[in-house]
């Protein structure tokens, strides 16, 4: 307590002339009343509001623009990663064109086209012959076409060039949208990958388990309600219906849980990409105190008679610099 009182007393002695830097609530310039109450620095009662910067508002209200998308792919404008991926989702290979990876476009279309053609051809063979192998080959072909389509989106985000070393929030968000956990890897949060992937795997497991049980009790309900089936099991029709509805509800909950985990994975990647360059060390604030010679801020707040005015001369004070 004694140190605090001594510090306040020394500051009061050193800053005895600091009132020269503040203006009165009265009109000092017109010298109507020189004994006003000090309320703030010069200009605190004047309208010094700068013109509003509408750039952020314009950007936030701009929304989707097809013209901007076309100009970007024509090389006349710069596209954000979101715009680029959106265009590539509409026209496969557009992201590769924007990134100047021209040689990848034929590979993309060959993979997608070959997969779709193979799926159609194997589907016709399956309906013509009825062989199970054509059914599996049809599914594999469609999966291959989807993989090429997904791959060209991911490749567009990976090859998008930025000048920032810190994680770009847009890229991290798109990474997690395309592959859960990849945005966390881009942010350097590798320990989060098992959490999100494990959550999705758990949701998939419970969906499969509840779906199997739902189908089982649905079949029991159908058989128990058929008088010609000869059903003699201990589970009655009403009990089977109860179990059927319960497992169907649990299956739907599993889908909702998977959607929630997926959405939280995307939000986590976006938020922590924004926070990647924040200073989270223990010492994030500093206070520097040093003596200073303070000049009047503006001459119009001094007396006209500068020869006898105490406000016309510099004042000895203290400079406080707080960094946080």
CB–CB of 83/68 below 8 Å?
yes
Higher pLDDT, 30 or 123: 123
- 321 sits in which H/E element: strand 315-323
Q: Which residue has the higher pLDDT, 269 or 78?
A: 269
Over the range 205-231, which residues count as b (16 or more CB within 10 Å of their CB) and which as e? ebbeebbebbeebbebbeebeeeeeeb
- Higher model confidence: residue 139 or residue 35? 139
pLDDT in tens, 295-314: 766 655 555 455 555 555 67
35 pLDDT more than 60: no
The answer to which of 54-63, 221-230, 281-290, 294-303 has the lowest mean pLDDT is 54-63
- Collect all residues with Cβ–Cβ distance below 8 Å to 104 and sequence separation of at least 6: 93, 96, 152, 155
pLDDT, tens only, 82-117? 888 888 999 999 999 888 899 999 999 999 999 999
**What does the pLDDT read at residue 302?**
54
pLDDT at res. 282: 63
* Residue 184 scores a pLDDT above 90: yes
Six-digit token pair at 122?
Answer: 């194997």
How many other CB atoms are found less than 10 A from the CB of residue 82? 15
**pLDDT (tens digit per residue) in 230-256:** 777 788 888 899 999 999 999 999 999
Q: Residue 18's closest CA among 302, 293, 207?
A: 293
* Separation between Cα atoms, residue 149 and residue 233, nearest integer Å: 49
Q: What is the pLDDT of residue 164?
A: 73
The answer to whether residue 10 scores a pLDDT higher than 90 is no
Choose among 60, 65, 69: nearest CA to 88: 69
pLDDT tens digit string along 194-208? 999 999 999 999 999
pLDDT band at 50 (very low <50, low <70, confident <90, very high): very low
* pLDDT at position 59 over 80: no
Please report, rounded to a whole number, the percentage of residues in the chain having pLDDT higher than 90: 43
Residue 149 pLDDT exceeds 50? yes
3-state secondary structure 28-47: CCCCCCCCCCEEECCCCCCC
């Amino acid at each position: 307590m004694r140190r605090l009182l001594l510090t306040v007393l020394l500051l009061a002695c050193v800053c005895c002339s600091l009132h020269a830097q503040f203006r009165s609530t009265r009109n000092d310039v017109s010298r109507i009343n020189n004994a006003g109450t000090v309320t703030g620095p010069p200009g605190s009662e004047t309208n010094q509001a700068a013109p509003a910067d509408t750039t952020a508002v314009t950007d936030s209200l701009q929304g989707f623009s097809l013209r901007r998308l076309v100009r970007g792919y024509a090389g006349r404008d710069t596209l954000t990663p979101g715009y680029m991926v959106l265009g590539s989702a509409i026209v496969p290979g557009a992201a590769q064109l924007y990134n100047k990876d021209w040689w990848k476009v034929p590979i993309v279309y060959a993979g997608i086209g070959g997969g779709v053609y193979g799926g159609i051809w194997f589907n016709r063979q399956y309906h013509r012959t009825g062989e199970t192998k054509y059914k599996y080959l049809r599914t594999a072909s469609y999966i291959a076409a989807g993989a090429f389509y997904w791959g060209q989106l991911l490749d567009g985000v990976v090859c998008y060039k930025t000048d920032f070393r810190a994680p770009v929030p847009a890229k991290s968000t798109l990474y997690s949208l395309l592959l859960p956990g990849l945005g966390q890897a881009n942010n350097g949060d590798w320990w989060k990958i098992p959490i999100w992937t494990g959550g999705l795997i758990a949701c998939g497991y419970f969906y499969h388990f509840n779906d199997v049980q739902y189908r089982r009790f649905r079949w029991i309900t159908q058989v128990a309600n058929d008088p010609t089936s000869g059903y003699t099991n201990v589970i009655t029709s009403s009990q089977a219906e109860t179990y059927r509805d319960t497992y169907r509800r649990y299956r739907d909950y599993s889908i909702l849980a998977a959607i929630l985990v997926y959405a939280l994975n995307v939000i986590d990647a976006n938020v922590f990409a924004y926070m990647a360059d924040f200073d989270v060390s223990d010492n994030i604030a500093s206070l520097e105190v040093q003596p200073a010679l303070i000049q009047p801020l503006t001459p119009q707040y001094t007396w006209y008679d500068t020869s006898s005015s105490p406000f016309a001369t510099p004042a000895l004070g203290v400079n406080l610099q707080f960094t946080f």
